[in-house]
Chains A and B, each alone.
Chain A
């Protein structure tokens, strides 16, 4: 089913998507927000630029965007997959608990803040370019993989992973990561890490038709928290 989004209000567009079949193509998308919020069981391709909160609370759709995405993609996402053939805005994957997000280019500030995992739900964000500041703040679980493709310097911004107490952030090797919170450890990705990275990298390569091998050869840094109880010693009972 093809939906022409020209001039459609987001509520009307979402109604059409809800009423549409399992496979939908949205054309001429221009800034409509909340597309597929809370939805599941659909395969949707979007041509154009979806507005903020694409796939927020997503519960199991496969979304492909041919264009850039804006802020809050995959906010509080529970399941599904979002592939963006372009860049993404701020607050990507906030508090996501499940599913995978692939951004061909770069992501804005506050990516993957408070990502978490539970049981078999292990969310992943893969960013082809760089990420803005505050990447993975308060991260409690899941995986963020930053490839830095086409970038000269370090693909991470300031305050990366502050307050991180779970999960992993992997960065393709190159320039050393910037100064990180003292509670984090930074080292080379080990075999267990590479076992996590490999399928994500392959999926990225397949989605965007790039070669995985040269990226893999460069190797990866792994950023890990040194405790999952970061505030244990902060308080005095009164």
Chain B
């Protein structure tokens, strides 16, 4: 029989000259890595429990700690990486499906990094956003096909239900249950202050957060947790979640151990029972069925709320989006395969779906070719990491972007990718009271505001540099992009030229 021991991935390096034995690291680590040896009056560490979340490092008052990658290694093998070998051991031990968190960490191409942005020189002037207005406001929803006028020629405004955002950024869906109440409160308050929206995810809407309704998107997923008419009416828009970039084609479940107290109440399910979201909505097996749910929601809310349909970016994304655009949806959200999650089977997270850059470009082109681009707005998500990614996503055809990993990083997440364990030392992906209180929603919401304000300014500077003064004029403006190191096929799908052309 094999011996189970796996050498830890990380090493806790402690400078004992600096360590004062204050035991902060021990108290802060929910994974119980650190311990104090009384007889030696010295701290020690059990690295096998370490997830490299940096909580101890950040709080050590004397900077005595660092976490380094362990040099211990298997015999080098370009085919069988140490990670793969460890995963086989893990499955041979347990018989379990490998479960991971956050976005796909594999070394797949990041097209955003192979796209460069244009700027004006000589022949057209650039704008200075500090001096000249650059409009970042966007309206999401159906747009009228034609202008209607009354007898005297005045335009008759025919406003469809829409979402108005001050910047083309929304916080994407993360359920209460997968993240803490304090994280939700920080997102909701920041969304209100920024004039944007956050998304409840599928865990329902906590009653204390109802007051942020104008900046809330309420989600309807296959489990329909917490979904009832008051919930639908509470938000500014309703999102039907058909898929998620981190785990296309499968559902989700929040283990019963995370469902108690307000989480159970908000989901409207008994404490302790698993919250299972089936892979498909079992009332939706076709575009026609999707249309049916869209109209159920529209009827239930008197056509006041735009309906978003969120799908994962998969192979036939353009055809799927075309169907959704004809189903009555007002907005399509596309989630790329690098999108994050609170828990997903490792193999699915790392191998299923396609990059958002290719997906949004091909959907935008397909909808324009079919003359239905104005039937829907497009949201791009699934690893938008910076303001430059936003500018590129918009120029590839998105109306706005969803961000979540970046938002969590603002709240203190260190991307240790252990959300599924439920012991988030930063108080985000946990429901343990001693841990959730570590996230101060006041400070958290201020940091989110900082991030989005900084990105807004950078977006304006990039747009100004191109001589473009509104998001409207940037959307789908592929002439502003050039590829580097991409094949002709990749350039064709993105609809951009190579640098130098």
The residues of A with any CB-CB pair to B shorter than 8 Å are 10-11, 14, 18, 33-34, 37-38, 40, 52-53, 56-57, 59, 71-72, 75-76, 78, 91, 94-95, 97, 110, 113-114, 116-119, 121, 134, 137-138, 140-141, 163, 165-166, 228-238
Question: How close is B105's CB to chain A, nearest CB, in angstroms?
Answer: 11
Segment with Cβ contacts to A, from B91-99, B451-459, B463-471 = B91-99
> Once bound together, how far apart are the Cα atoms of A33 and B294, in whole Å?
12
Residues of B within 8 A of A53 (CB): 292-293, 295-296
Query: Could you jot down 29 A-B contacts, CB within 8 Å?
Result: A10-B295, A37-B299, A40-B229, A53-B295, A53-B296, A57-B229, A76-B227, A91-B283, A94-B283, A113-B278, A114-B278, A114-B282, A118-B270, A137-B278, A138-B278, A166-B270, A228-B272, A228-B274, A230-B274, A231-B253, A231-B276, A235-B96, A235-B98, A236-B91, A236-B94, A236-B96, A236-B99, A238-B98, A238-B99
A95 adjacent to B223 (CB under 8 Å):
yes
Chain A residue with minimal CB distance to B276?
A: A138
Given contacts A57-B232, A78-B229, contact A231 B274 (CB under 8 A): yes
B269 adjacent to A229 (CB under 8 Å):
no
B300 adjacent to A37 (CB under 8 Å):
yes
Residues of B within 8 A of A114 (CB): 222-224, 276, 278, 282
Question: How close is A14's CB to chain B, nearest CB, in angstroms?
Answer: 6
A165 adjacent to B229 (CB under 8 Å):
no
Q: Indicate whether B148 reaches chain A with its CB closer than 8 angstroms.
A: no
Q: Indicate whether B447 reaches chain A with its CB closer than 8 angstroms.
A: no
B273 adjacent to A228 (CB under 8 Å):
yes
Chain B residue with minimal CB distance to A97?
A: B268
Question: How close is B266's CB to chain A, nearest CB, in angstroms?
Answer: 10
Residues of B within 8 A of A231 (CB): 253, 255, 274, 276
Chain A at the B interface: SS class? loop
Indicate the member of A71, A141, A165 with the most B CB atoms within 10 Å: A165
Q: Indicate whether B301 reaches chain A with its CB closer than 8 angstroms.
A: yes
Q: Indicate whether B256 reaches chain A with its CB closer than 8 angstroms.
A: yes
Question: How close is A179's CB to chain B, nearest CB, in angstroms?
Answer: 21
Residues of A within 8 A of B297 (CB): 57
Q: Indicate whether B373 reaches chain A with its CB closer than 8 angstroms.
A: no
Q: How large is the interface on B (under 10, 10 to 19, 20 to 34, 35 or more residues)?
A: 35 or more
Indicate the member of B274, B278, B283, B296 with the most A CB atoms within 10 Å: B283
Those 7 A-B pairs whose CB atoms lie nearest each other, nearest first: A38-B300, A236-B96, A37-B299, A95-B224, A238-B98, A228-B273, A56-B296
Residues of B within 8 A of A75 (CB): 283, 293, 296
> Once bound together, how far apart are the Cα atoms of A138 and B281, in whole Å?
11
A57 adjacent to B300 (CB under 8 Å):
yes
Indicate the member of B255, B268, B299 with the most A CB atoms within 10 Å: B299
Residues of A within 8 A of B270 (CB): 117-118, 141, 166, 228
Indicate the member of B90, B91, B272, B278 with the most A CB atoms within 10 Å: B278
> Once bound together, how far apart are the Cα atoms of A134 and B97, in whole Å?
25
> Once bound together, how far apart are the Cα atoms of A231 and B276, in whole Å?
9
Contact residue among B91, B283, B299 (Cβ-Cβ distance under 8 Å from A14): B299
B228 adjacent to A57 (CB under 8 Å):
yes
Given contacts A38-B299, A229-B255, A237-B420, contact A72 B283 (CB under 8 A): yes
Chain B 204-226 interface mask (CB, 8 Å, partner A; 1/0): 00000000000000001011100
Given contacts A78-B228, A117-B270, A118-B269, contact A33 B90 (CB under 8 A): no
Residues of A within 8 A of B425 (CB): none
Residues of A within 8 A of B345 (CB): 235
Residues of B within 8 A of A119 (CB): 268
Given pairs A76-B228, A235-B420, 7 additional interface contacts (CB within 8 A): A78-B228, A114-B222, A114-B224, A114-B276, A230-B276, A235-B98, A237-B420
> Once bound together, how far apart are the Cα atoms of A59 and B295, in whole Å?
16
Residues of A within 8 A of B98 (CB): 235-236, 238
> Once bound together, how far apart are the Cα atoms of A163 and B273, in whole Å?
13
Chain B residue with minimal CB distance to A94?
A: B283
A229 adjacent to B273 (CB under 8 Å):
yes
Given contacts A53-B292, A114-B278, A228-B272, contact A236 B97 (CB under 8 A): yes
Q: Indicate whether B15 reaches chain A with its CB closer than 8 angstroms.
A: no
Q: Indicate whether B346 reaches chain A with its CB closer than 8 angstroms.
A: yes
Contact residue among A40, A137, A140 (Cβ-Cβ distance under 8 Å from B269): A140
Q: Indicate whether B193 reaches chain A with its CB closer than 8 angstroms.
A: no
Residues of B within 8 A of A138 (CB): 276, 278, 282
Contact residue among A33, A141, A229, A233 (Cβ-Cβ distance under 8 Å from B256): A229
Given contacts A110-B282, A234-B97, contact A57 B296 (CB under 8 A): yes
> Once bound together, how far apart are the Cα atoms of A74 and B345, in whole Å?
33
> Once bound together, how far apart are the Cα atoms of A87 and B96, in whole Å?
43
Q: Indicate whether B473 reaches chain A with its CB closer than 8 angstroms.
A: no
Q: Indicate whether B87 reaches chain A with its CB closer than 8 angstroms.
A: yes
> Once bound together, how far apart are the Cα atoms of A102 and B267, in whole Å?
26
A234 adjacent to B232 (CB under 8 Å):
no
Indicate the member of B96, B220, B272, B273 with the most A CB atoms within 10 Å: B273
Chain B residue with minimal CB distance to A230?
A: B274
Chain B residue with minimal CB distance to A38?
A: B300
